[in-house]
Amino acid sequence: MMPSIFEDRSLELLLFDFDGTLIDSKVDIATSVNLTLRDLGLPERTPDEIFGFVGDGVKRLLRLSVGEENLAQYEEALRIFRLHYLTHCLDTTRFYPGIGAVLQHFHPVHKAVVTNKSLEYTLKIVEGLQVTELFTAIESPEDSSELKPDPGMLLRALDKVGVSPDRAIMVGDSTNDVRAAKAANMKVCAVGYGYGHREKVMALDPDYYCEKPEDLIDALGVNPFSHRSDANSP
């Protein structure tokens, strides 16, 4: 058996994507998008359509939801969506089952949220779930150029915590997360329970793959820098 990360302290920082990795927020996002479209007099979208738009930030979410033929209403859609989402972002949004145990298991390790979600929404949800104290850093893009797969947010989190990339792991459900981690020269664990496309994620060869949140304890509970697990196994 490989040594525990707590024996040699190799792992110092876990970076987590937010939507689709820590939290299941898709219903509240879809509700807020459709309330926005209704207010604008535009056709509503099916939840599955909206789920497919999640992952690249609120601007792309609203641009795709409004549709290319209605982009004149895009700026107004952003304004209206903000009001609806701040009202509804905690209606059903919760940690995925098993995530609480994962965060507790790794309590000696620094943890950060690194998300394409706007900071305003991220902080409201983190505070509403009463878990602010669990995270050493919470990073959202300062501008559109910092959206993952750009590694800027990851590097900023590393800097804030004072950890080098070889002492950190990114955990996320999307190709953006895998690409960002590789660009930041850190290990990455992909998860299969979120919103990402499994085949596209696995094609990028993540260092680890977990089908369920609780699998993270076994996958990362050993020293992840002394071996490479079979990322293609469930």
Enzyme catalytic residues:
17
Q: Chain centroid to CA 181: how far?
A: 12
**23-24/94-95 β-pairing:** antiparallel
Q: Chain centroid to CA 156: how far?
A: 16
> CA dihedral in degrees (154, 13, 165, 155; nearest 10)?
20
Two tokens, residue 114: 């690194």
C-alpha span between 193 and 24 (Å, rounded): 10
Q: Tell me the residue ranges of DSSP E strands in 42-196.
A: 94-95, 110-114, 137-139, 168-172, 187-191
